[in-house]
Structure 1
Amino acid sequence: MAELELSGVSKVYGAFNALRDVSLQIADGEFAVFVGPSGCGKSTLLRLIAGLDPVSGGRIAIGGNDMTARQAGQRPVAMVFQNYALYPHMSVFENIAFPLQMERRTKDDIKREVSRAAEIVQLSTRLQDRPAKLSGGQRQRVAIARAIVRKPGIFLMDEPLSNLDAALRMEMRAELTQLHRRLGSTMVYVTHDQLEAMTMADRIVVLNGGRVEQVGAPMELYHNPANLFVAGFIGSPPMNFAAARVDAVEGHAARLTVEGLGSFAVSYDGKEVSAGDAVTIGIRPEAMLPGAGEAGHLSFRMTPETVERLGLHTIVHAPVGAKTFTALFNGDPRMARGSALDVSVPLAQLHLFDRNGAGRSIRDIQ
């Protein structure tokens, strides 16, 4: 079993708190993705799990065994780095075989394990080549194969696709997902790209400022972000936000006034909302529909400043009150820069956040 448990893990560099009281459980065989902006602590957390850096506080356990004080070589993990970390003077075979040679495995064992790993990553015909003859994607496959031969309990991957071009990243995302299904191993993957997180993860761990903001399945985070940070980070294009005032509360409905959108009533989930409160509404760009809406919709007019036609989608940027909203429409609807456009949003898809502290969500989206 290779479940991972972090209990109150922290990391301090001088006066800087890189990680603060991180507690997390990752199940055996799960594909977990750490995501967040640069400097949020995701790569630092991966290095602590790998044993490359010591923790400042807390406990790390793998398979129920305390690994907190163990060195990297004593932990059942294998790490794949962003820069591949291949030996340029060695062949593909020799690069993959290196950790087995360090274990003093027999030549027959090494040949068998390298052949198996090369077949998994589709490099069987390139074993005698050196890294300089390989493409970026093939080099990353060599690094992954080198991890596979160790048969680790947990694969740790630190932004392994960031050096690849867009088309190759898409191809490698699919390959890594298939590799996870084939091996059935626990994988912990670090990325700053929320698209990678959404398409690959069983669960996403969103980090910000050294803290865990939310943990959940990709669509759980998309539909019901815990707070303003997660709402703005998950989703592309990002969610639109606007300040609102609560004019009145009746039962589980609040009447709001929003600059540029007017006054309207929206249900909420029974959390504390009172007349006079300042709140924030959130609207996903893809929730905005062209044309005036029916009952149960918030309708308004906006004048596009920018229209981006992508074929499958059209993206519009337009001022709404003091904010600039982004709308994502399907296909190639008739609209032009400078021409007024009627837009509607189903009220059921309107997000609502308080404006105290972390901006927690006060309305779930079904």
Structure 2
Amino acid sequence: MAELELSRVSKTYGAFNALRDVSLKIGDGEFAVFVGPSGCGKSTLLRLVAGLDPVSEGQIAIGGNDVTTRQAGQRPVAMVFQNYALYPHMSVYDNIAFPLQMERRSRQEIKQEVARAAQVVQLSTRLQDKPAKLSGGQRQRVAIARAIVRKPGIFLMDEPLSNLDAALRMEMRSELTQLHRRLGSTMVYVTHDQLEAMTMADRIVVLNGGKVEQVGAPMELYHNPANLFVAGFIGSPPMNFIAGVAGSIAGEAMLRVEAPGFGEVTVPYDGSAVRTGDKVTLGIRPEAVTLGDATDDSISFSIVPDIIERLGLHTIVHSESGGRPFTALFNGDPRLRPGEQIHVRVPRTQIYLFDQDGVGRSRQIAA
């Protein structure tokens, strides 16, 4: 049993609150990803779970056992760091075996466990090599194998792919996902890259300013962001935000919003917390924008492309609308030119509504 539970955990450094009242439960065998911008507290939270730093307040339990005051070596966890932390003078075999040697395991047991771990990470033929002979991805696999031999209840990974190039990161994302499936272990993974979070996680924990903004499955956060921060952080390119003023109710579960540069926009609405005259924010994901005029179930407006990024599969258009930057993502390679006005439309069901406090108030969209 390797369930992780945090109860009202806080961490302060003098007058600075790195983490504030974090409560969270991660299930046995779950792949959870902590994501957020630099300085949000995600690595600090991982270090508290690992026992590398003491908590200021709160409780940490692993497998139902309180480990809040236990030292790192007494906790059923193994950590994989960003910088690999390999011993350059040792072979791959000895690097993997090191934790077991420190525990004074028998030579035969160490040999068996190293062979098993090396097979899992596909390094069985490289055991006699030194780290200098390995690629960045292979070095990271050695670090993971060293964690595997400890047979931890929870794997903790602190931005393990950030030192790799784009191609290797993509390869290692796939390998880590497959590794999780093979081992069935609980994994807690820290990254600032929301693409890694979306593609790898069973659940994502979005952190900002030392507090949890939202927890949920990747597509739940994408379709139903709790607030403006999550809406802007999850999704690439990020969501467009348009300032507006709430008007009158326009039929069942619909609200009129006056948005400069867009006119009157009717959007889905959950029927609470927004009153006529309130300042609100509309959200439009770039991928919800298509070329064409309005239909009964969509709104239409014009944009003038400033920069066009042609990626083959997609084309990203950067423009301005209502006095603010506006990004659209189109499939394929439409014939567009900078400076030439185009007409676009967005389905009403794909327009998000946030109240004056930045809380999501749109009708729920199925994840």
TM-score where L is the length of structure 1: 0.98
Deviation at 1:217, TM superposition (A): 0.0
Deviation at 1:228, TM superposition (A): 0.2
Deviation at 1:365, TM superposition (A): 2.3
* Structure-to-structure mapping, 1:258-273, within 5 angstroms: 258-273=259-274
Rounded to whole Å, the distance in 1 between the matches of 2:198 and 2:288 is 18
Q: Secondary structure at the match of 2:336?
A: coil
Rounded to whole Å, the distance in 2 between the matches of 1:155 and 1:272 is 41
Q: Secondary structure at the match of 1:333?
A: coil
Deviation at 1:252, TM superposition (A): 2.6
* Structure-to-structure mapping, 1:1-366, within 5 angstroms: 1-250=1-250, 251-356=252-357, 359-363=358-362, 364-366=364-366
Deviations 1:128-163 (A, max 9, x none): 111111110010000000000000000000000000
Rounded to whole Å, the distance in 1 between the matches of 2:265 and 2:148 is 56
Q: Is 242-251 or 257-266 further displaced after alignment?
A: 242-251
Deviation at 1:284, TM superposition (A): 0.2
Deviation at 1:270, TM superposition (A): 1.5
Match of 2:267, as an amino acid? V
Rounded to whole Å, the distance in 1 between the matches of 2:343 and 2:79 is 51
Rounded to whole Å, the distance in 1 between the matches of 2:247 and 2:216 is 33
For this pair of structures, how many residues does the alignment match? 364
Deviation at 1:119, TM superposition (A): 0.6
Deviation at 1:87, TM superposition (A): 0.5
Deviation at 1:264, TM superposition (A): 2.3
Deviation at 1:275, TM superposition (A): 1.1
Query: Is 1:97–1:114's contact at 8 Å kept on the other side of the alignment?
Result: yes
Query: Is 2:353–2:361's contact at 8 Å kept on the other side of the alignment?
Result: yes
Q: Secondary structure at the match of 1:339?
A: coil
Rounded to whole Å, the distance in 1 between the matches of 2:329 and 2:159 is 28
Match of 2:147, as an amino acid? A
Rounded to whole Å, the distance in 1 between the matches of 2:4 and 2:302 is 50
Q: Secondary structure at the match of 2:54?
A: coil
Q: Secondary structure at the match of 2:338?
A: coil
Match of 1:253, as an amino acid? M
Q: Secondary structure at the match of 1:85?
A: coil
Query: Is 1:249–1:273's contact at 8 Å kept on the other side of the alignment?
Result: no
Deviation at 1:294, TM superposition (A): 1.3
- The percent identity for this pair of structures is 75
Query: Is 1:351–1:365's contact at 8 Å kept on the other side of the alignment?
Result: no
Q: Secondary structure at the match of 1:229?
A: helix
Match of 1:193, as an amino acid? D
Deviations 1:198-250 (A, max 9, x none): 00000000000000000000000000000000000000000000101112224
Query: Is 1:226–1:360's contact at 8 Å kept on the other side of the alignment?
Result: yes
Deviation at 1:253, TM superposition (A): 2.0
Deviation at 1:293, TM superposition (A): 2.9
Rounded to whole Å, the distance in 2 between the matches of 1:247 and 1:111 is 71
Deviations 1:326-358 (A, max 9, x none): 0000000111111110100000010000112xx
Query: Is 2:267–2:352's contact at 8 Å kept on the other side of the alignment?
Result: no
- Unaligned stretches of 5+ in structure 2? none
Match of 1:108, as an amino acid? Q
Match of 2:353, as an amino acid? L
Query: Is 1:11–1:19's contact at 8 Å kept on the other side of the alignment?
Result: yes
Deviations 1:296-316 (A, max 9, x none): 101001110111100000000
- Unaligned stretches of 5+ in structure 1? none
Q: Secondary structure at the match of 1:54?
A: coil
Rounded to whole Å, the distance in 2 between the matches of 1:86 and 1:60 is 29
Q: Is 257-266 or 76-85 further displaced after alignment?
A: 257-266
Query: Is 2:10–2:21's contact at 8 Å kept on the other side of the alignment?
Result: yes
Deviation at 1:122, TM superposition (A): 0.7
Q: Secondary structure at the match of 1:222?
A: helix
Q: Secondary structure at the match of 2:110?
A: helix
Q: Secondary structure at the match of 1:44?
A: helix
Deviation at 1:267, TM superposition (A): 2.4
Match of 1:209, as an amino acid? G
Q: Secondary structure at the match of 1:38?
A: coil
